[in-house]
Structure 1
Amino acid sequence: MQSVFENKGEGWEEKKLKEICEIKPPKSEARNKLKETDVVSFVPMEDLGINQKILIPEKERTLKEVEGSYTYFANDDVLLAKITPCFENGKLSIAKNLKNSIGFGSSEYIVFRTNKNIFSEFLYYFLLRSQFREEGAKRMTGAVGHKRVSKEFIENSMIALPPLVEQHLIVAKLNALSAETKKLEAIYARKLADLEELKKSILTKAFKGELVNE
């Protein structure tokens, strides 16, 4: 996946993330759209997935309950955990299916709202790269156990941006690759489970004295 973002084609432009995204959209948007008693999606850190492109919101709160200390986002915004070890582990998703199209969550989220020049799924795959996380980890600040990726690193990270049509083609290929990878992971997990069961069976027989009779 890394090579997709390094091998620039014709018509690609180098941009800083802050030039193509609104980072941390204002909470006033939610207040202007909803009443305090209206319900919104609530996504604590434990509900933000790893290698889970589309966010699955499961909890809800009233706007009054969450607007004070939690981070605001809306449908199609990209959420990225900024605190260690969540950042390094790749806690990252695209917000979808939010109650009243609005969500709130951990104060440790960075929220990206893409402009007309970038597709949210293309940004998702850019942020998912191991190189991005490794570079961000080097630039973390704060006390041990509470380090966060710096605002400057996020805002000034450079992305090679192809035309929108090409972004869609790239995302389609990466989606297919991701689906195939998950299939292989599932097969591998089943084989490991079968091997573990075989190991348990052999050990049971061994300590019952049954192996020598086979």
Structure 2
Amino acid sequence: MKSKEHQEPAQSNVKDRRRAKQHQANPELVERGAAMKKGWQIKTIGDLGEFQRGLTYGKSDEVDVSDNVVLRATNIDLATNLLIFDELKYISEKVVIPESKKVKKGSLMICMASGSKTHLGKVAFIDDDYGFAFGGFMGMLTPKSDVLPRYLFHLMTSEDYKDFIGALSDGANINNLTFDKLKVFPVPVPPLSEQHRIVRILDEAFENIATAKANAEQNLKNAKAIFESYLNEVFTKKGEGWVETTLSKATNGIFTGPFGSLLHKSDYVADGIPLVNPAHINEGQIEPDLRKTVSKATALRLKNYIMREGDIVIGRRGEMGRCALVTEVEDGWLCGTGSFFIKPSSRCDMHFLVRYLRSDSCKVRLEKLVGGAIMPNLNNTDLGNLTLDLPPIVRQKSIVKGIDDLYLDTQSLTNIYEQKLAALEELKKSLLHQAFNGEL
């Protein structure tokens, strides 16, 4: 019988023939190969790297802290593809971790299974020998000598790669990747000298882009912080004629939406009269779910919960301070079971009140009322007893104008910074596209 050493060359030849057959059968490889620059080749991830699946362990092996650290999908930042070490998993030191299950400097860690398709296939470059294991839902790709690890890493952050992964998982119930599927991804491979040049350009460009993005994001935060600071000042800095009162005294009453016994699942119809629950209130606007509405007959039965233009609807469950002014559009809609609605009075401008209720300073006070509960649930009495400093009605209106003017300025700055962030992201995509099409 032949030894294993004598069998391997024959097996290798079989693998080579299979790989050549795969390349011939893949029209994308043939098409891209014909379009490549001189000296470039089209290979696959399978040609260029060795793959290793991660460490599997039992729930009983998990501990609070140890020297056995396991990296998971949460340790790859989706936006930047950087390794992050905020949520490390530790397992018992009784578990012996093979070296093959530890990340190696110059390798790529890939998310091979995830509850979210957006995270499937995401990759991070391992820049050091950390001595950390990588979990069973992860994979490690160790590039061979004919491709630079960072060249392959940049390719696996490109839109072509993301589209490839998206097509593999499209329609699948379980978001799993196998190396057999991943290994056929086509890789345009220039000479090593050209790879070095491309990596150098991309690394430098992406470092500059990351700095520009960080500056834009900080400017965005600053603009929002200035607006919130202004709100805090106008609502807490008393002036002449200001009086301390309560929400129930400043308005014409706070009313709770219908309890569950009054509104059943069977009452819901599509495209009827909307109900407004906390989930339907976003950024001071009411966004109904037209799949869960009620008939006119049900609305008539629940007429005591109908909201009118000028009311304020505010959530009593979940995130505190989620509220909106009822406009002409929402007049006649129903307050949902998870909300209150507040009736206006001549003592309080409702535009002033809704801006106060949405302010960070008021949200903090409302959160204190619910006592940090896991499922916050505000009661009518506590909301009614909430104290506020109320200026004369004329001053309320001028404060509203000042807030709205500053909001428009803030929104204008926000749009500028968001457009800049979008442009930087497009620049990154464009550079990657050029790099791997021989156009850089």
**Secondary structure of 1:185's aligned partner:** helix
**Alpha-carbon separation, structure 2, partners of 1:159 and 1:140:** 18
Query: Structure 1 regions of 5+ residues with no counterpart?
Result: 28-38
- Decide whether aligned partners of structure 1 residues 195 and 133 sit closer, same or farther in structure 2, where only a CA change above 3 A counts: same
> CA 1:141–1:106 in structure 2 vs 1: closer, same or farther (change >3 Å)?
farther
Q: What's 1:12 paired with?
A: 242
Identify the match of residue 42 of structure 1 among 274, 283, 286: 274
Q: Does 1:179 align with 2:413?
A: no
Greater fraction of residues in strand: 1
Query: Which AA in structure 2 matches 1:158?
Result: T
Aligned-partner SS, 1:168: helix
- 1:189 deviates by 1.5
8 Å contact kept, 2:315–2:322? yes
2:308 paired with 1:74? yes
AA aligned to 1:3 is E
Q: Which has the larger radius of gyration?
A: 2
Corresponding position: 1:157 with 2:386: yes
The Cα offsets for residues 64-121 of structure 1, whole Å up to 9 and x where unpaired, read as: 2344499432110011112113x2xx4321101146x422032111211121111110
Percent identity between the two aligned chains? 25
Alpha carbons of 1:11 and 1:41: their partners in 2 closer, same or farther (altered >3 Å)?
A: farther
Cα 1:71–1:190 change in 2 (3 A) is farther
Structure 1 residue aligned with 2:208: none
CA contact (8 A) 1:25 1:73 kept: no
Shift of 1:126: 1.0
The alpha carbon displacement at 1:209 in A equals 4.2
SS at 2:314's partner residue?
Answer: strand
User: Could you tell me whether the CA contact under 8 Å between 2:257 and 2:335 is conserved in 1?
Assistant: no
Q: Could you give the per-residue CA deviations for residues 174-193 of structure 1, whole angstroms, max 9, x where no partner exists?
A: 11111222222222221111
1:96 aligns with 2:327: yes
Question: Does structure 2 conserve the Cα–Cα contact (< 8 Å) formed by 1:119 and 1:164?
Answer: yes
Question: Structure 1's 143 and 127: CA in aligned 2 closer, same or farther, altered over 3 A?
Answer: closer
| Closer/same/farther in 2, CA of residues 98 and 210 from structure 1, 3 Å limit | closer
Measured after TM superposition, the shift of residue 5 of structure 1 is 1.2
Displaced runs of 4 or more, over 6 A: none
What's 1:204 paired with?
433
Query: C-alpha deviations, 1:121-150, integer Å up to 9, x for none?
Result: 010111011011122123326973x32124
Unpaired runs of 5+ residues, structure 2, are 1-230, 259-270
Distance 1:127 1:184, change over 3 A: same
Q: Contact (CA 8 Å) 2:276, 2:333: kept in 1 or not? A: no
One-letter amino acid of the counterpart of residue 339, structure 2: Y
SS at match of 2:346: coil
Between 152-161 and 111-120, the greater mean CA deviation after superposition: 152-161
Q: Cα offset for 1:201?
A: 1.0
Q: Is the Cα contact below 8 Å between 2:284 and 2:325 reproduced in 1?
A: no
Cα distance between partner residues in 1 of 2:372 and 2:388 = 26
TM-score between the two structures when normalised by the length of structure 1: 0.77
Inter-partner Cα distance in structure 1 for 2:390 and 2:340? 21
Q: TM-score, normalised by structure 2?
A: 0.40
RMSD: 3.0
Residue of structure 1 in register with 2:344 after alignment: 114
Q: Which has the higher contact order (CA 8 A, sep 6+)?
A: 1
